[in-house]
Amino acid sequence: MVFNPSNCIFVFRNFDFKILYAMNTLIKSATIIDPSSPFHQQKKDILIVDGIITKIEDLIPSQKDFTIVTRENLHVSCGWFDTSVSFGEPGYEERETIKNGLEVAAKSGFTAVAVNANTNPVIDNKAAVAFLTNKAQGFATKLYPIAALTKDSEGKEMAELFDMQQSGAIAFGDYKKPVVNENLMKISLLYAQNFNGLVLSFPKNQSIAGDGIANEGINSTKLGLKGIPALAEELQIASNLLILEYTGGKLHIPTISTAKSVTLIKDAKKKGLQVSCSVAAHHLVLTDDELHEFDSNYKTNPPLRTKADCKALQKGITMGVIDIITSDHNPIDIEYKKVEFSEAKNGTIGLESFFGAINSVLSISDFIENITLKPRAIFGLETTSITTGNKADISFFNPEEKYIFTKKNIFSTSKNSAFINKKMTGKVYGIFSNNQLILNS
C-alpha cells in the first residue's frame, strides 16, 4: 500500500477546535466580504489546493479527497490582523504562552497578530525578536513582533531599531508607555526614516494623568476614583504630531479613546502627515458606566471613557480617520485582577470577544476594512485578496448569530475579560492560513 499524504487529514483536538492539514479544501456557499476581490459580496464555492485558491465558482462538485467546510450563514474575508496583542512569554508564561496565544488567535478568526514587547526580558534586541519569530514557527496564525522603541522600555535610550527590523520586527513602541522625552521621539522618527520604520507612541501624558485610575468625570467623582482627564491623552497626541510635522517619518498612535483625539488626528491627516491610529474594541463598545461594581476587568489603559467618546470613535472609523481596530488583548493573571480596583493591573483580554463585540456597533464592511487591508498596509505587510491564484489566507464567520459571552467562551490562560455576560452579535468559525484549516467545533 502506497502512503499518499494528499488523501490524509490529521486532526488535533485542543479546547474544542480542530486543526486539519489537508491538500484539498472546499469551502461551500460562502459569502465573500473582500472589497479587493472581484467576488465581493457574492456567494461562492472556493477550492483550495496546496494552500492556493484554485477555483471560485457558483458550484464546485465535491470529491472524496476534499475536506469540506460548511457552516450556517458562512461568510469569509481576507485573514484578520490584530495589531496589538500581548502574550506573556518570555517571562510571564502564567499569563499566556505563545503557543496557547496563537491557538486562541486562530480560534478567534485571526491569521496574523502583532505582539507587543511587554515581556520579561523586554523585546529590545535582535536576539529577543528572533526568539519570538522562531517560537511561533509552524502555527496557522502568523506572529509579527513589535519591538521596544527604547532599551528595556524605560524611555531613556533608543533601542537597536534597524537590527531588530532585520530580525523581523515590524514596528517599534514601548507598550502602554509614552515617550516622555520629546527629543528622543524626534530622534526616533528621524532615524527610523532610514529604513522606513514605523514608530508607535502611546497617547498618555503621565504628568497630567498622575496616579489616576478611571476616566475623569461624573462616574469617577461619584465612585471616589482618581480621574485621568481626556487632556492627558490629547496633550500627548498634540505634542507627538507637532514633532512628526517637524521630522517627517511614520507615526502610529495606538488605542486612542477620546473624541478630541479623533479631531487632532483628522486635522493632522489633512496636513499630509503620515500618521495612523487604532482603537481598542472595548473603547468602541464600553463606557465608564461599567465601573459602578468596581469590577477590575473594566480597569484599562486608557480608561473606559464616556458614551460621547464611544460615538466619536465609531464615527472616526466610518469617516476613515481611525485606521485600525484592535483587541488590545492583554492577559493578566488572577492574582493581579482579583484585588481592589485601585490595586488591580490594567488590561483586558479581547481576542475571543473581538468580533461579537465590534459587530454589534459597526457595519461589516467597516469592520473588515479596519482589520484586514488597512492594518496590513500601515504595518508594511503583504495584503491579500480572495482571488484565484492567490495564497489562501481566510477568516470564517457568521455576522448574525447572537449569544451571551461567558467564561466558557474564553480559551486564554488568563480570564480577565471586560465582556463577560455581554450580548454578542457574530460568531467566528475559524481560519485557513499557512496551509492549515482550523475550525471551531
pLDDT tens for 280-326 read: 999 999 999 999 999 999 999 999 999 999 999 999 999 999 999 99
> Tens digits of per-residue pLDDT, 398-415?
999 999 999 999 999 999
Same domain, 69 and 107: no
Same domain, 45 and 189: no
Whole-model pTM above 0.75?
yes
Same domain, 277 and 239: yes
Q: Kindly state whether residue 383 falls inside one of the protein's structural domains.
A: no
Q: Please pick, among 295, 328, 333, 366, the residue that the annotation labels catalytic.
A: 328
* Band of pLDDT at residue 20, cut at 50, 70 and 90: low
C-beta neighbour count of 240 within 10 angstroms: 24
Q: H-helix or E-strand containing 115?
A: strand 110-115
Residues 177-192: what's their mean pLDDT? 97
Helices 259-270 and 230-247 cross at an angle (nearest 10°) of 10
Q: Kindly state whether residue 262 falls inside one of the protein's structural domains.
A: yes
Same domain, 209 and 284: yes
* Band of pLDDT at residue 64, cut at 50, 70 and 90: confident
Cell for 400? Answer: 448574525
Cell for 380? Answer: 508594511
For residue 326, give the CATH number of its domain. 3.20.20.140
Q: Kindly state whether residue 163 falls inside one of the protein's structural domains.
A: yes
Residue that is last in its domain, among 326, 353, 378? 378
Same domain, 32 and 114: no
- Whether the per-residue pLDDT at 14 is higher than 90: the answer is no
Q: Kindly state whether residue 312 falls inside one of the protein's structural domains.
A: yes
Residues 128-134: what's their mean pLDDT? 97
Residues 328-348: what's their mean pLDDT? 96
Query: Is the four-CA dihedral 324, 428, 403, 332 of positive or negative sign?
Result: negative
For residue 422, give the CATH number of its domain. 2.30.40.10
Chain centroid to CA 241: 23
Residue that is last in its domain, among 378, 397, 432? 378
Q: Kindly state whether residue 125 falls inside one of the protein's structural domains.
A: yes
Average pLDDT value over all residues in the chain: 94
Residues 41-47: what's their mean pLDDT? 98
> Tens digits of per-residue pLDDT, 225-240?
999 999 999 999 999 9
Number of domains in the chain: 2
50 is catalytic: no
Instruction: Kindly state the percentage of the chain with pLDDT values over 90.
Output: 93
C-beta neighbour count of 245 within 10 angstroms: 13
- Whether the per-residue pLDDT at 23 is higher than 90: the answer is no
- Whether the per-residue pLDDT at 215 is higher than 60: the answer is yes
Same domain, 52 and 154: no
* Band of pLDDT at residue 1, cut at 50, 70 and 90: very low
Same domain, 359 and 301: yes
Same domain, 180 and 99: yes
Same domain, 83 and 71: no
* Band of pLDDT at residue 3, cut at 50, 70 and 90: very low
> Tens digits of per-residue pLDDT, 143-157?
999 999 999 999 999
Dihedral over alpha carbons 122, 127, 133, 134 (to 10 degrees): -130
Domain that holds residue 16: 5-76+388-440
Same domain, 66 and 87: no
Half-sphere exposure of residue 214: CA atoms within 13 angstroms, side-chain side = 26
> Tens digits of per-residue pLDDT, 369-402?
999 999 999 999 998 899 999 999 999 999 999 9
Same domain, 257 and 163: yes
Same domain, 174 and 59: no
Residue that is last in its domain, among 358, 378, 398? 378
CA neighbor of 439 nearest in space, from 19, 53, 13 = 19
Which pLDDT score is estimated for 77? 98
